[in-house]
Amino acid sequence: MNRLPIAALCLALAACASYAPLPLDRQAAPKRSLQELQHDGALPDWLGMDDIAALALRNNPDLVAARAQRGVAQAQLLIAGIPPNPSLSAGYAILLGGPGPGNVNAITAGLNQDLRSLVTLSARRSAARATVREVDASLLWQEWQTVGKARLQAVDLVEGEAQLRLLRQNAALLQDRLQRSRKALGQGDTTLATLAPDLAAAADAQKQLDDAGRQQESRRRDLAAFLGLSPEAALPLDEAVTVPPIDAAAVLQSLPDLADRRPDLVALQLGYRAQEAQVRAAILGQFPMLSFGVSGGRDNSGIRSLGPQLTMDLPIFDRNQGNIALERATRQQLHDEFGARLVAADAEVRALLADQALLQQQLAARRPQLAELERSAAGAEDAYRAGNLDERGYVDLLSARNAKQQEILAMEQSLLEQQVAIAILTGAGMPPVAFDTAEAQR
């Protein structure tokens, strides 16, 4: 028995893919603690901005899901690089009857190859390679945005905690004055008209504290979810916020190279290159459907024949003009989208730089006011203890100082947020991308 066909069949079956189910996880399973997250090395006791960014890169649920896009692009590249299979045809006709002796059953066979798919193979491969690089750049942009968002959330949380401390101090100060006013009213030393402003001020301060507390708790939950943690997980953050300062002159100088450094703009350019290859493939698709091969066989009279076989579509109606128009229109759309995105990115960076300069000027003007209020508050405390200043004037001075501290803290928080946003929008720290012009021309 000839074992060669059996061995060939076994090899073919071994090369085939097999099915394996991949059931969905229907139970939400956020991590309960920081130690359950993926991270490199031991985590510090207090997390800084870089620690939060690193944890977000490894554990952000949306980012983990987005990384699967690369597998899809790699599979598409594999599909584009596989040449079409040749086709094999065979026939066997049993002789049912007819004149003449010596008639036999007829046998025919043919082997053909589609040539048009081979013509467009190189262009389709180029498009798939550019698409893989586009997905890589898009994923890098998403990772870059994830880092920036994690830093922004950490900044808001740390600065919000500082705001809460000031609001607690102010609420306690006004509540203490209210209690003294109530006591004085009970003793007949003051009137209800005097108590009313103290009551309103204490209620307003408590409302501000409650609102800020709810906002702070919401920020903590948002950051925990962003890291893939449960809302109850502890997030010990370092109070020292370290954000690299922004050099406005250097940023403006780097704007002409923004398209070579910001990942989303790089992704758009790679997507445009992929579409250029699609246009070339559509133009090459004008080549008529053509298959070439050999065919042969034996007819009923026993005569054997063998020769070439050519099959070709006649390009009378369909010359692939519809696909060419579609790919060209798509290319024009991507061309215009890139231009619009580049203009918007440039304008957004310049607007943030202008806002940052204005905020720095305002902050510089507020700091001397705070210094003056701090000196007045320090002097007021001595005067109050010496009996030279009544309690109302003393509390008013301390409240004014606390309000100015809150104002400056809010401005500093906005300044830090702008610095993080500018770093994201300019791709600060990203190396420029060198495009392969030789590949683009193929």
Mean per-residue pLDDT pooled into runs of 10, the chain (442 residues): 51 61 71 82 84 87 81 78 82 74 79 78 81 82 86 90 91 87 77 80 90 92 89 85 82 88 86 88 80 78 80 78 90 93 92 92 91 86 79 84 90 89 80 53 43
Task: Check: pTM over 0.75? Answer yes or no.
Answer: no
DSSP symbol at 28: -
Smallest CA-to-CA distance from 271 within 341, 223, 363, 185 is with 341
Please state, as a whole number, how many other Cβ atoms lie within 10 Å of the Cβ of residue 225. Answer: 15
CA 65, CA 70: separation in Å to the nearest integer?
Answer: 10
CA 327, CA 286: separation in Å to the nearest integer?
Answer: 13
Q: In this structure, are strands 106-114 and 87-93 parallel, antiparallel, or unpaired?
A: antiparallel
Q: Which helix (H) or strand (E) holds 304?
A: strand 304-312
Write down the pLDDT at residue 329: 94
**Cα separation values, 47 from 155, 259, 313, Å:** 12, 33, 68
CA 233, CA 212: separation in Å to the nearest integer?
Answer: 20
Smallest CA-to-CA distance from 55 within 223, 233, 262, 231 is with 223
Please state, as a whole number, how many other Cβ atoms lie within 10 Å of the Cβ of residue 400. Answer: 15
Q: Residue 128 burial by CB count (10 A; 0-12/13-18/19+): exposed, middle or buried?
A: buried
Residue type, 14: A
Residue type, 99: P
Query: CA geometry: angle at 201 spanning 196 and 205, to 5°?
Result: 150
Domain covering 52-82+120-285+320-441 in this structure, CATH number: 1.20.1600.10
Residue type, 24: L
Structure tokens at 25: 């996880």
Q: Residue 409 burial by CB count (10 A; 0-12/13-18/19+): exposed, middle or buried?
A: middle
Q: What is the CA radius of gyration of the chain?
A: 37
Residue type, 318: D
Contact 263, 141 (CB under 8 A): yes
